[in-house]
Amino acid sequence: MFEPRFISSLFQNCNKLEMVLCLITRVPCRCRCPVTSRCLGGPEWAEPRFTLAAQCRVVATLLLCVVASLSNSCVLVSVWRARGLASHLRPLLLSLAGAHLMGALLVMPMDAAWNVTVQWRGGAVLCKVLCFLKLLCMHASAHVVIVISLDRQHAILRPLHALNAHQRNRRMLATAWALSVVLATPQLFIFRLSKAEDVDFTQCATHGSFSQRWQETLYNMFHFSTLYVCPLVVMVWCYSCILLQIQRQATVQKGTENSSSTPVLRRSGTDIIPKARMKTVKMSVVIVLSFVVCWTPYYLLGLWYWFQPEVLRYTPEYVHHGLFVFGNLNSCLDPLIYGFYSPSFRAGLRQCCGRRQSGATGTRGLGQSPGRGKKSPRDEHELESMSPEHGSWSDEQLRLSPEPRNLKRVQ
């Protein structure tokens, strides 16, 4: 959308430098005349080249393509095999990894090839398809993040509705993907081939699709809202509600402990509620920071280009290349963020990568009791199942049991 390839070249009374920059970077300019050698400054016009900044972008894009493909493929396999993972969380993680994998396998290689050739050589159909897929992947990733945030908020604030979580998440995911397709469909109609009349240069741009500049600005502002503003607002709101609810429960539990003589379940001297609270706090902070850090510079640069197009003359080429690559880094971070906070997920990922823990049956050291030492995968899964995302535990539901693995809800 705001990446240079998503912004049209509208040609009007521009000099040679501005026209060449518009053709190479596809960033907004004030040109509206036909693409001719006269508009480009005469016969001395030189064909744009594969610059060093573009070369660095291609290398970085291909590296991200490999890393994102491997990491998200491992996420898909490990989530599919993870029997201990909550059933309502599996489609969320699968959808997020699928959106990132689609971008890594389809969009990133074509983007790298486009930068190598400088001009567009893929034909009219591929021009439209690439721009459609690019926006589809961006919308799908953002909307799945919204669904994940709503699911976690619903699990904390309405734990009694957990039985409907699977169907609710499937409906929200279907809506998210359908909305992503609808929002990306205009790309198939507004992007087309723009050919120079007197020089051999062809570009995939929106030239001629908007009669007025404000129309294109409105189109891009709308996608800016759906891709960045709305997901950010929903994420901040959901995780703020989660933290407030957990803090409220912790306050109530602390008051109950001070006034009640009934023992409350503790494990190794650490209360379960603070563990779950810290886990949710860390995960929510990392999720929000990852989204904000990766995409904020990218969209701010796009806004700057749109409201002050003349800055294009003074902005180094490597800036917009680097910010676009940095935004795509989010595709590699999401598998780590959503995956490595789950013990069962980490175990499945280690199996997917071919890593096996040595000494599964293990031997205990001299004098070490069976109840001490490293927690078994089963114990870790039980600890995970008591986290806020699996429901809210009240003080009356946490009772002392002879063995932690015999812990059950008190009806």
Specify if 251 maps to a domain. Answer: yes
The residue-averaged pLDDT of 272-286 equals 62
Torsion of CA 135, 150, 174, 3, to 10 degrees: 0
How much is the average pLDDT of 2-15? 38
- What does the angle CA 179 – CA 105 – CA 48 come to, to the nearest 5 degrees? 100
Average pLDDT over residues 267-275: 47
Has residue 397 been placed in a domain? no
pLDDT value at residue 382: 39
288 occurs within a structural domain:
yes
Decide if 27 is inside a domain: no
Rounded distance between C-alpha atoms, residue 290 and residue 282, angstroms: 12
Taking all residues of the chain, what is their mean pLDDT, rounded to a whole number? 71
Contact assessment for residue 317 and residue 352, using Cβ atoms and an 8 Å cutoff: no
Q: Is residue 263 part of a domain?
A: no
Please report which confidence band the pLDDT of residue 280 belongs to, taking 50, 70 and 90 as the band edges: low
Q: Mean pLDDT, to the nearest integer, of 308-329?
A: 82
Residue 235: inside a domain: yes
pLDDT given for residue 190 in this prediction: 92
| Whole-number pLDDT of residue 397 | 40
Instruction: Say whether pLDDT at 407 is over 70.
Output: no
pLDDT of residue 304: 82
Residue 268 confidence (pLDDT) above 50: no
Tell me the pLDDT tens digit for each residue of 63-114: 999 999 988 888 888 778 766 566 677 888 889 889 999 989 988 998 899 8
Q: What is the pLDDT of residues 137-176, one digit of tens each?
A: 999 999 998 998 898 888 778 877 767 788 888 999 999 9
* Residue 14 domain flag: no
Q: What's the 3-state SS for the chain?
A: CCCHHHCCCCECCCCHHHHHHHHHHCCCCCECCCCCCCCCCCCCCCCCCCCHHHHHHHHHHHHHHHHHHHHHHHHHHHHHHCCCCCCCCHHHHHHHHHHHHHHHHHHHHHHHHHHHHCCCCCHHHHHHHHHHHHHHHHHHHHHHHHHHHHHHHHHHHCHHHHHHHHHHHHHHHHHHHHHHHHHHCCHHHHCEEEECCCCCCEEEECCCCCCCHHHHHHHHHHHHHHHHHHHHHHHHHHHHHHHHHHHHHHHHHHHHHHHCCCCCCEECCEEHHHHHHHHHHHHHHHHHHHHHHHHHHHHHHHHHHHHCHHHHHCCCHHHHHHHHHHHHCHHHHHHHHHHCCCHHHHHHHHHHCCCCCCCCCCCCCCCCCCCCCCCCHHHHHHHHHCCHHHCCCCHHHCCCCCCHHHCCCCC
Joined together, the tokens standing for residue 279 give 């886990």
Predicted pLDDT of residue 175: 96
Mean pLDDT computed over 225-254? 85
Q: What is the tens place of the pLDDT at every residue in 170-203?
A: 999 999 999 999 999 999 999 988 887 777 788 8
Asked which of 148-162, 223-237, 262-276, 357-371 is least confident by mean pLDDT, the reply is: 357-371
The answer to whether residue 380 scores a pLDDT higher than 70 is no
Phi-psi region at 9: left, alpha or beta (left = phi > 0; alpha = psi -120 to 50) = beta
Boundaries of domain holding 140: 52-183+212-255+274-352
Query: What's the structural domain count of the chain?
Result: 1
Region 46-53 average pLDDT: 77
User: Is residue 391 a part of any domain in this protein?
Assistant: no
Q: Identify the pLDDT of residue 31.
A: 44
Lowest mean pLDDT, pick from 28-32, 84-88, 126-130, 242-246? 28-32
Rg (the chain; Cα; Å): 26
Tell me, what CATH number does 111's domain have? 1.20.1070.10
- Say what the pLDDT of residue 58 is: 93
CA 90/CA 87 separation, integer angstroms = 5
